[in-house]
């Protein structure tokens, strides 16, 4: 959005250009405004961008003078920034703004009758989830804009299979203005409401454009995988379809400590009941419920027969919060249950074993040393199972959960404590509900390539996609061949994918008007992301090396990552001095603090006032 408190600032253009090539989105947001007043006015430029995106550039042009953002190592940027702060100026430019977004904000004084142009560029690799890629753009111009335009160009060498665009702010009048088209490799979405069409009512000066604009699409999959090679870099997309599901063995670890009292427990139960509806009959499952101690629903994993599911639902309905948070014993009990099931061969030999761990707090009893808990879980799992963590509410120690999961082939996810928390949990389950492959390894000719991103994966879930990128070091290589091995529902599967290096590169030359180095940037983006992720769970002696590599790439490719900052300099009207501002990347751990408004000292897990609680057995009170 671009706005000012008065009507003196006229926004004559907001242009959102998005170019997606092979899932890699390059977004340019440009706003142009003029100050019609006879005195200077402050103008703010706000952009909500996805947390997964990296800012790559920002510039302001004020009266023909360009003020560029410069991306630097965090420490170096901080020194420059601190100088400005010591003069009592400025603030950070990026802050957490929502579940999926962070907000970039710049405010600047614009002289009378002067023009200003803001341009922000950010890039991200779109992730395939439940059979589609999704790119969202927050739309909130706050004022009517002479020329408002969203253009999304998609270029997918595999061919586009479907394309859709939706806006949460769409009315029947606006809907026909969304133009969607696709043919072969190219797709296009545009949305250009006139100034009158933006009005919230016919004579209003307020805009109805406020919400998310989401583009979804998928690509054709004639083969399970596809390799693309451009300018010496390759990217391998692997997403086999029509495979039989591998049976799952799931342990749900549920925190029922007293801090879960109220809505959290209610929503957890709701989500579990829904999830139990979706568990397949060939799956096995069990519950590990913990408070001060651990309660295991059944002695061993049970098959998801209708009778067992009904009993499980009854058990879930009768869960009530109590006691403390004994995370260590709960994790070890769950791992031990899976070990026993595999040892006793009571679960299918070819099956995916998952632990879904849900908590809202930090350990308050049993083993409370976080490092020790992580070590215990790692040593007990030994790479055999995937551990997914769902962190509920603001009091949760998210970095702890993230490390715990990343060390054990899983991921951590935040569950936001709002009315749709149950839906968020179900949504997460849907993502991991359908494993079709296990122990996937993508191999490339060792002497011809280097700098390959992660190429071994514990599970492949239907509707997702594995992406591996790397650099081709052999200049004479004509064909790049990848061998993929994976364990399927019945046997070991082997796939071979290849791409002709020269021809592919020539073919892609036609697309280079988009941005020729996209494969290289995609590789850099993916590498940085994975290095940052590895850093979370790496031992101290490896951390330095991983950080150095991620930093070097962030600087080389000009990405604002958690290791770099962008310094933006803007003119300071009164003193004539320039003012430095800084754009940082928000990371999850920081976010929880930034969003937390607690001022009172809090130790241990968080607690919000009960809105619902189970009937107490007895009490004494008076009114």
Partner 1 sequence: PHFIIRVPEKEDALCFNIQETPGAVLNLISDPELGIAVNGELIGKKEPGNVAPTETYFGKIGIVITKLDVRLEVTAQGVTVLSGARNVALTWQEDVTLTEEGFNLQVNKMENALLSMGDGATFIIVLHQFRKGDPLHRDFLGFYTLDSHRFSERVHGLLGQFFHGVDYEISNIHKTADPEKPDASMRVKDSLLTVTRGWQKDYSKDLQSGSRVQCWFVHNNGQGLIDGTHTDYIVPDLF
Q: Which residues bind partner 1 (CB under 8 A)?
A: 257-259, 261, 291-293, 320-324, 364-365, 598-607, 609-623
Per-residue tokens: 492: 């070991």
Residue among 211 and 262 whose Cβ is closer to partner 1: 262
DSSP-derived secondary structure for 462-530: TT--EEEEEEE--TT--EEEEEEEEE-SSSEEEEEEEEEHHHHHHHHHTTHHHHTTHHHHHHHHHHHHH
8 A C-beta contact, residue 67 and residue 568? yes
Residue among 539 and 615 whose Cβ is closer to partner 1: 615
Shortest distance, CB of residue 602 to partner 1, whole angstroms? 5
Shortest distance, CB of residue 267 to partner 1, whole angstroms? 16
Q: Give the 3-state secondary structure of residue 37.
A: coil
Neighbours of 611 (CB within 10 A): 10
Q: If you search the block for the tokens 């679960």, which residue do you land on?
A: 347
Q: Strand (E) positions, 338-392?
A: 352-359, 386-392
Residue among 112 and 610 whose Cβ is closer to partner 1: 610
DSSP label of 80: H
Strand order of the β-sheet with 435-443 is 456-461, 435-443, 479-487, 492-500
Shortest distance, CB of residue 331 to partner 1, whole angstroms? 19
Residue among 231 and 608 whose Cβ is closer to partner 1: 608
Neighbours of 450 (CB within 10 A): 12
Residue among 109 and 364 whose Cβ is closer to partner 1: 364
Residue among 259 and 359 whose Cβ is closer to partner 1: 259
Q: Report angle CA 535, 540, 544 to the nearest 5 degrees.
A: 65
Question: What does each C-alpha distance from 489 to 130, 141, 387, 437, 439 come to in angstroms?
Answer: 20, 50, 21, 7, 12
Residue among 181 and 596 whose Cβ is closer to partner 1: 596
Residue among 35 and 364 whose Cβ is closer to partner 1: 364
Q: Residue 110: what are its φ and ψ, rounded to 5°?
A: -115, 130
Shortest distance, CB of residue 324 to partner 1, whole angstroms? 5
């Amino acid at each position: 959005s671009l706005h000012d408190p008065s009507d003196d600032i006229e926004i004559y253009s907001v242009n959102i250009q998005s170019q997606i090539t092979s899932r890699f989105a390059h977004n340019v947001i440009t706003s142009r405004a003029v100050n019609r007043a006879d005195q200077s006015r402050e103008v703010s430029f706000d952009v909500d961008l996805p947390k997964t995106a990296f800012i790559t550039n920002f510039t302001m042009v004020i009266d023909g003078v360009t003020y560029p953002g410069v991306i630097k190592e965090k420490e170096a940027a901080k020194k420059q920034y601190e100088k400005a702060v010591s003069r009592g100026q400025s603030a950070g430019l990026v802050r957490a703004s929502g579940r999926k977004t962070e907000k970039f904000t710049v405010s600047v004084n614009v002289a009378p009758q002067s023009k200003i142009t803001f341009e922000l560029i950010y890039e991200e690799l779109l992730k395939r989830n439940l059979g589609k890629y999704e790119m969202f753009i927050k739309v909130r111009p706050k004022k009517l804009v002479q020329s408002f335009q969203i253009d999304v160009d998609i270029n997918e060498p595999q061919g586009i299979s479907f394309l859709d665009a939706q806006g949460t702010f769409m009315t029947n009048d606006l809907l026909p203005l969304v133009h969607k088209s696709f043919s072969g490799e190219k797709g296009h979405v545009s949305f250009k409401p006139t100034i009158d069409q933006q009005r919230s009512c016919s004579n209003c000066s307020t805009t109805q454009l406020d919400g998310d604009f989401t583009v979804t699409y998928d690509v054709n999959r004639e083969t399970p995988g596809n390799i693309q090679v451009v300018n010496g870099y390759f990217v391998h997309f692997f997403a086999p379809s029509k495979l039989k599901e591998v049976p799952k063995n799931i342990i749900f670890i549920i925190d029922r400590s007293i801090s879960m009292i109220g809505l959290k427990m209610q929503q957890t139960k709701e989500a579990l009941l829904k999830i139990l509806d979706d568990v397949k009959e060939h799956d096995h499952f069990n519950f590990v419920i913990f408070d001060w101690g651990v309660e295991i629903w059944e002695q061993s994993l049970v098959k998801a027969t209708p009778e067992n599911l009904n009993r499980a639902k009854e058990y879930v309905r009768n869960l009530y919060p109590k006691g403390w948070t004994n995370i260590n014993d709960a994790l070890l009990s769950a791992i031990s249950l899976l070990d026993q099931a595999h040892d006793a061969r009571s679960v299918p030999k070819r099956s995916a074993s998952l632990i879904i761990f849900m908590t809202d707090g930090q350990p308050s009893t049993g083993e409370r040393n976080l490092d020790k808990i992580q070590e215990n879980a790692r040593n007990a799992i030994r790479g055999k199972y995937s551990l997914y963590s769902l962190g509920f509410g603001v009091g949760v120690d998210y970095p702890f959960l993230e490390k715990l999961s990343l060390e054990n082939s899983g991921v951590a996810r935040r569950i936001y404590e709002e009315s749709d928390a149950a839906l968020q949990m179900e949504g997460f389950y849907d993502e991991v509900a359908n494993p079709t492959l296990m122990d996937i390894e993508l191999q490339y000719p060792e002497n011809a390539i280097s700098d390959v991103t992660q190429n071994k994966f514990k599970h492949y879930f239907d509707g997702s996609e594995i992406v591996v990128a790397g650099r081709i070091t052999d200049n004479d290589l004509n064909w790049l061949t990848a061998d993929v091995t994976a364990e399927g529902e019945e046997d070991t599967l082997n796939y071979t994918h290849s791409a002709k290096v020269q021809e592919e590169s020539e073919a892609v030359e036609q697309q280079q008007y988009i941005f020729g180095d996209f494969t290289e940037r995609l590789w850099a983006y993916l590498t940085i992301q994975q290095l940052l992720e590895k850093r979370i769970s790496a031992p101290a002696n490896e951390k330095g090396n991983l950080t150095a590599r991620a930093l070097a790439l962030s600087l080389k490719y000009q990405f604002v990552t958690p290791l770099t900052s962008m310094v933006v300099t803007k003119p300071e009207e009164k003193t004539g001095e320039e003012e430095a501002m800084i754009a940082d990347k928000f990371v999850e751990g920081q976010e929880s603090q930034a969003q937390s408004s607690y001022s009172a000292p809090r130790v241990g897990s968080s607690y919000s006032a009960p809105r619902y609680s189970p009937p107490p057995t007895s009490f004494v009170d008076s009114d």
